[in-house]
Amino acid sequence: MKNHFRLGLFIFLTPVLLWLALLIVVPHIELLLMSLQGKDDLGNPVWTLVHYRNFFVEEIYWYTFVRTALYAITVTVLTFLVTFPVAFYITKVVSPRLSGFLTILLLMPFWVSELVRVYGWMILLRESGVINHLLTSAGLLAAPIEMLYNDISMLMGLVYTSMLFMAVPLISSLEGLDDSLIEAAHDLGASPLTICLKIVIPYAAPGITSGSIVVFMLALGNYLTPTLMGGKNSLWFTEQIYNEFIASFNWNQGAAFGFLLLLLSSVIIWIGLKLSKQQLGRALS
């Protein structure tokens, strides 16, 4: 019986460990080694930190790096502010039967690819798009205006493409909250804001943490939405990485940028966990 258990555990863990090793661990080790490789004046391969030094020497690199981090944090906060009321309404306000229907409606837009959803927003916001047509037809605008290719439209696109990954953990957390706790607090005279800050949010903290981690990682590493909705002035760090790998064929510099992005995301997530006093294992469970 014990041997059968070990065999079953081995069969179960082998694909998982292979997936982690071949698709995550090995590529990141190769990324690190590639970022440390260079050539001397004679063209001989050497180990060097020049690719990391270039990041700090060139102002556009670290400026884009910091800008991407701040915008990714902003996207995470905005996504939480948008999805938290929706998740609370689905789990605590409507009936269970209607709750399932609303959850399906929430999931439906994400059944299509991100590219299709982003192009949908572009059709709405472009100069000849639906919104400009309605506003000019109603006389609210004298002429169409360009609503795309700016930071606001880029942030809006990133929030929209990330909503599902914040909503699902929030719904899962809030479903376990006993309604009697909210009712008791209300009967004792607590205001809705006090109930939200003292009961609802602390109970949903693991879901908030896990959703924030996923949304932040997706926003930080997103390439499609900033490029399409932010335009040439989006200054997103993943575009810098793409340019080094594809446009300049400088794989060593691109690998350094990619590893720096990995370090950045890890440090910010670690700081967030410390500030929220959450544990990574509990948040992602």
Cα–chain-centroid distance for residue 255?
Answer: 21
Task: Note the pLDDT of residue 133.
Answer: 86
Q: What's the DSSP call for residue 250?
A: -
Q: What is the dihedral of CA 88, 72, 24, 251, to 10 degrees?
A: 160
Q: How many C-beta atoms lie closer than 10 Å to residue 145's C-beta?
A: 12
Beta strands in 18-112 (DSSP E): 37-39, 45-47
In a domain? residue 40: no
Which amino acid is it at 246? I
Q: What is the CATH number of the domain that holds 251?
A: 1.10.3720.10
Which element (helix H / strand E) includes 113?
Answer: none
224, with CB counted inside 10 A (0-12, 13-18, 19+), is middle
| Residues 28, 63 share a domain | no
Do 64 and 202 fall within a single domain? Answer: yes
Number of domains in the chain: 2
Domain hosting 6: range is 1-35
Q: Is residue 45 part of a domain?
A: no
* CA–CA gap between residue 201 and residue 184 (Å, rounded): 16
Give the per-residue pLDDT at 232: 74
Per-10-residue mean pLDDT of the chain, 285 residues long, equals 65 82 86 87 82 88 91 95 94 86 86 87 86 86 84 92 92 88 87 89 90 92 90 84 88 91 88 76 55
What confidence score (pLDDT) does residue 15 get? Answer: 84
Q: Scan for tokens 């700090």, then name that residue.
A: 56
Do 119 and 19 belong to one domain?
Answer: no
Q: Are residues 128 and 31 in the same domain?
A: no
Amino acid 282: pLDDT: 55
> Tell me, what's the pLDDT at 147?
85
Residue 46 placed within a domain: no
Give the HSE-up count for residue 284: Cα atoms under 13 Å, Cβ half-sphere.
Answer: 8
User: Is 146 domain-assigned?
Assistant: yes
Structure tokens given for 272:
């967030």
Residues 80 and 9 both lie in one domain: no
| Residue 79 included in any domain | yes
pLDDT of residue 281: 58
Say if residue 14 is in the same domain as residue 110.
no
Single pTM value for the model? 0.87
On the CB side of 197, how many CA atoms lie within 13 Å of its CA? Answer: 5
CA atoms within 13 A on the CB side of 168: 11
